[in-house]
Every structure is written in C-alpha cells, then in structure tokens.
Structure 1
Amino acid sequence: MADTLLDDVGALLRETADQVVLPLFRKLDDADVSEKAPGELVTVADRRAEEMISAALRRLRPGSVVVGEEGVADDPTLLEHLGGRADVWLVDPIDGTSNFVAGRQPFALMVALQTGGEPAAAWVLDPLAGTLAVARAGEGTWLDGRPLRTGDRAPTLDALRGAAMSHALPPAARARVEAGGARLGELLPGQHCAGREYLDVLTGDQDFVLFWRTLPWDHAPGSLLVRAAGGVARRFDGADYHPAGEGHGLLVAASERIWTAAREALLGAG
C-alpha cells in the first residue's frame, strides 16, 4: 500500500483551516481571546484546531504522542517526549495568533513528525494564500505539489534579502544585527508568523530568516522543510537545530553559502 502520510496530514490541515480557523477569522469576540501567559494570546480557534488536528494525528499513528503548543501550555511535561524514541507530533494550530486576533495576515497551521528522536516529516499551510509545503527527511520538499530545491541559491551579499526578529534579541545582539543589516540588500522586521517566514525562504521571497525564540512547534516544521530542500537551519554557533534542544538563536537560510554570508554579516564570524 502506498504511503499517503504527506497527503493525509496536508488534507487534515486544509480541513481544519476550512472548518475551524477561517470561520473565526475577523469574527472573534472578546470572550474568544485570553492570555495563557503575559503577552501570549490564545483563542478558541487555537484550542479547537489543536483538538481536531491532535485527534486525527493519533488515529493516523496509534500510540503516537502529540506535543501541541496549547497542550504544553497546560502540561509542560509533554516536552519530555521530544527526547524519546516514540513517534511524536509537534503541532502549532495557529502560528501567528497575534495576527489572527488582529484580523490581519499571515498566520499558518503547522505540524511536524519526529520518529526515533529525529525530525521525519513536516507540513506548513498558509490558509489565506492556499500555500501548502510538505517535506520528508531524506526525500525532499514539495510546495503546492511541486518539488522544490533551494540549495543552489547564491546571491551576492548586497543582494541578500531576509528577516530578523531583532525586537526579541538582547540589546547587544540587536545592535549588531541591525548594523550588519546595512550590508545586505534588505533586512526585514519579520511578520510575526514563523510559518510564513519559512515559506518565504522556500519561495525565494527571502533568502534567510533570523529568530531568537526557538520553541519546537514554531521551528520543527519549517526547519525540516528548508533542510529537505537543500537549505540550512542552525543555531548561531553553527549547531544544527533540533526541536529537543534548549537555548536561543536560530539562523535559517536557503543555502549553505547564504547561511555563511548572513551569519558573518549579522553576527560576526566568531
């Protein structure tokens, strides 16, 4: 029997967007939005979407564990599964919740599958654009059904275009990144949606993106998408990103050459 996992989860995300997320876009009441932590918003759409996605993923892989953003907010011990060998689903039901609450785009639905302790497959859906990216480790990345490669991109330094979440950086690092951005073609402020940033690296709208916060549900899907397409997702010190890893700082680029050039410009060679 053919393995239909990539198609099945992609269809699940589209169904969830159509049935749960988009019907509430720009239709939230005050009672539909709350803070799960200071400055961290959650909506009824986040919770309902995670419930729908999680139930379906468990049916697809009986015995698997779901580590969802909203589930972890209620039970942080779920993160311990990331260091194990079981099948683990990482779920961000609405990435870019602040955009969703404000009635603006972009926002995304994201899932990653980890097997044997390593990322195995990933999905990111921008429901307003209709764009779906999927990947399987060792096999490749597909954007709206078309195979995609980014690893041969090598623009000159003054043509590089990318985003940096500089508002979240410590002051010294922020100053360094903003000063280094003057050497590039364009340094963007970010879209408050990691999923869209990753999609833009895949499409070529951006060559790189720099993050400070590296929560696993925000970056497990996108980092695998970029890597499987020939790109790079590494910590500032050059270590490959892993969802179970702790710490801050992540630089993602469409190719090895872009990563090296962007890191030196924004963070220095040391």
Structure 2
Amino acid sequence: MTVQFDINALALLLSTAAEAEIRPRFRALADGEVRTKTSAIDLVTEADEAAERFIKAGMEAVLPGALFVGEESVAAEPALLSKLAEADLAVVVDPIDGTFNFAAGVPLFGVMAAVVAGGETIAGVICDPMGDDFVLAEKGAGAWQTGGNRPAVRLKAAAPVPLADMTGMASTGFLPAEMRTRVMSNLAKVAFCSNYRCAAHEYRTFAAGHLHYLMYNKLMPWDHLAGTLISQEAGAFVARHDGTPYEPRHVEGGLLVAPDRDSWEMFRREILGG
C-alpha cells in the first residue's frame, strides 16, 4: 500500500505537543496528576493524556483518515488495539514513553509515533523533548537523526562483536519467573547490561551504534513499532524470540534486536536458550 505523507510534519507535531503539554509539566506535576494504571510502576500523568489529545487533534492534517491508536486511548478503550491489525492506515502513538522517569523528574523520556499501512510499519519517529531532536525512518530510506538546528546524520547500528564484548539493554521484568532467573544469570556472559526504563531512548542509543542488543518481552505497539523500524533501517536484525518477524499485530512473543542475524542467533542461543 502506497501512502503519501510528510514524515517531517509528523515529527513537528510530536515536538509541538512536547513543547505545549509535556515540558511545562516536567518536575511540576501537582498532587493527583500522577496515577497508577495496572501496577505501581505503570503510571499515567496529566502530561501523557494532554499530549495524546494534542497529537490526536493534529493528526488529521498529517494523515487524514488514519486510525489513531494511542496508549492512553487504548487504556480507555481496550478494543481499539484489535483494530490495528485490520486497518488500512493507522498511526500508533506513545505520548510519553518513560512515564515512570518523567514522573520521577528524570529527564529521560520520549514521544513516539509509527505509521502502519496494510499491517506493515512504514515510518517511525522518536522525539526527545529534552534534547529537542528526532530520530526517524521511512521504510527503505534509512534512519536519521535530525532537528535542533543541526544537520541530519544517517544512523548506523554497531558492528558485530563477540558475546563477551556486547553491551546493551534488557527488560526482564515481564519474563516468566523461571525464564527470568535463567536469563538474568546468562546475562553475566555479556560485557554490560542495563535498562533506561524508556524504550524510546534505548532504541535511539542502539540505532546510533552505541549498543549491541536490545531485549524485551512485553510487546505493545506504541513501545516498539517506531524503534524497530528505525533499528532495521540502521542495519539491524529484528525478530521475536522464536525468530519470526515482528509485526504491528503482535503483543506477545518477545523481541530481540542485534547488529546482524549472526549476532542475533548468538544472543538468542546463549542468553535466552534453555
């Protein structure tokens, strides 16, 4: 499916939403403006909801007629998520990725949007509200960092390295208990493992060539569609834990990202393997 739209207009909309609704509330949230959703570490703030409303209102000018699938919209209307797989055209938005950091006053959060056409991710944008720039990609056109009055820079994933030299990010909190114990033990085989609590910045860091792996288990489209496309356009290999391709309809099956397929297979065997 061919879709004509201006990815820079999408990036500008995210940036404008951040300027209007997110940055003014950073470290300025009043009592009652931070609430829990499913758990004490799954939060929503007034900034999340206001930014999503802002982006949704502006999206008709960027992608007329597109189904809007926002994280907070799905929280209010869970059935909306199931419509993504069948939509001819959709935009998937995370108004603040890294809400836990945002609510804690940690300046490590992002705004993400992905464009899905015919069940395939065709564009992705990750905005850094504090750094005032973007990483973005359109399918087949490479991954780029731009904004902040700086020239655009093409992104390239890191070169492959041996397992013992690999550095990266792993989210283990949503793994089944037995698997989590095994994986955390196996992660001693790599050089470095961390977690920003913010997929937006983890994908940005990976696509810029500073990491050798990303690992996730919980798959919600607003967390991963933009970042996986950007990573692939930077040259990376991306697949679910069983090796099958990751698609917008998937909400389970885990996800691994690595510089190439051989690195992916090695990480899968040595870290996830039983």
The question of a shared fold, defined as TM-score above 0.5 by the shorter chain, is answered with: yes
Give the match for residue 60 of structure 1: 62
Mapping 1:6-25, distance limit 5 Å: 6-25=7-26
Question: What amino acid is the match of 1:154?
Answer: P
- Mapped pair 1:96 → 2:103: no
Alignment check: 8 A CA contact 1:81 1:88 kept: no
Deviations 1:8-46 (A, max 9, x none): 111111111111101100000112112233332111100
Mapping 1:214-229, distance limit 5 Å: 214-229=219-234
Give the match for residue 120 of structure 1: 122
Question: What amino acid is the match of 2:240?
Answer: R
After the TM superposition, which of the residue ranges 111-120 and 121-130 deviates more from structure 2? 121-130
Give the match for residue 193 of structure 2: 187
Structure 1 runs, 4 residues or longer, greater than 3 Å off: none
- Mapped pair 1:106 → 2:113: no
Deviations 1:131-179 (A, max 9, x none): 41100112211122222232x7111221100111123222221122122
Alignment check: 8 A CA contact 2:127 2:134 kept: yes
Q: State the Cα distance separating 1:227 from its structure 2 match.
A: 1.1
Q: State the Cα distance separating 1:129 from its structure 2 match.
A: 2.6
CA, structure 1 residues 155+49, in 2 after alignment: closer, same or farther (shift >3 Å)?
Answer: same
Question: What amino acid is the match of 1:27?
Answer: A
SS of residue paired to 2:173: helix
Give the match for residue 168 of structure 1: 174
Give the match for residue 244 of structure 1: 249
Determine the C-alpha separation between the residues in 2 that align with 1:130 and 1:140.
Answer: 21
Q: Alignment partner for residue 146 of structure 1, among 141, 153, 158?
A: 153
Deviations 1:210-231 (A, max 9, x none): 1111111111111111112211
CA, structure 1 residues 34+85, in 2 after alignment: closer, same or farther (shift >3 Å)?
Answer: closer
Alignment check: 8 A CA contact 2:92 2:222 kept: yes
- Mapped pair 1:35 → 2:36: yes
Alignment check: 8 A CA contact 1:58 1:65 kept: no
Q: Cα RMSD (Å) of the superposition?
A: 1.6
Determine the C-alpha separation between the residues in 2 that align with 1:138 and 1:95.
Answer: 25
SS of residue paired to 2:200: helix
Q: State the Cα distance separating 1:81 from its structure 2 match.
A: 2.0
Deviations 1:228-267 (A, max 9, x none): 2211221110011112123241111232232122212211
Q: State the Cα distance separating 1:85 from its structure 2 match.
A: 3.9
Question: What amino acid is the match of 2:196?
Answer: Q
CA, structure 1 residues 178+38, in 2 after alignment: closer, same or farther (shift >3 Å)?
Answer: closer
After the TM superposition, which of the residue ranges 191-200 and 78-87 deviates more from structure 2? 78-87
Question: What amino acid is the match of 1:5?
Answer: D
TM-score by length of 1: 0.93
The alignment of Structure 1 onto Structure 2 pairs a total of residues equal to 265
Question: What amino acid is the match of 2:12?
Answer: A
Q: Alignment partner for residue 201 of structure 1, among 191, 199, 206?
A: 206
Question: What amino acid is the match of 1:45?
Answer: A
Question: What amino acid is the match of 1:64?
Answer: A
Q: State the Cα distance separating 1:205 from its structure 2 match.
A: 2.3
- Mapped pair 1:72 → 2:74: yes
- Give unmatched runs, 5+ long, in structure 2: 147-151
Determine the C-alpha separation between the residues in 1 that align with 2:222 and 2:38.
Answer: 17
Question: What amino acid is the match of 1:13?
Answer: L
Alignment check: 8 A CA contact 1:90 1:113 kept: yes
How many percent of aligned residue pairs carry the same amino acid? 35
Alignment check: 8 A CA contact 2:155 2:209 kept: no
CA, structure 1 residues 131+266, in 2 after alignment: closer, same or farther (shift >3 Å)?
Answer: farther
Q: State the Cα distance separating 1:64 from its structure 2 match.
A: 1.0
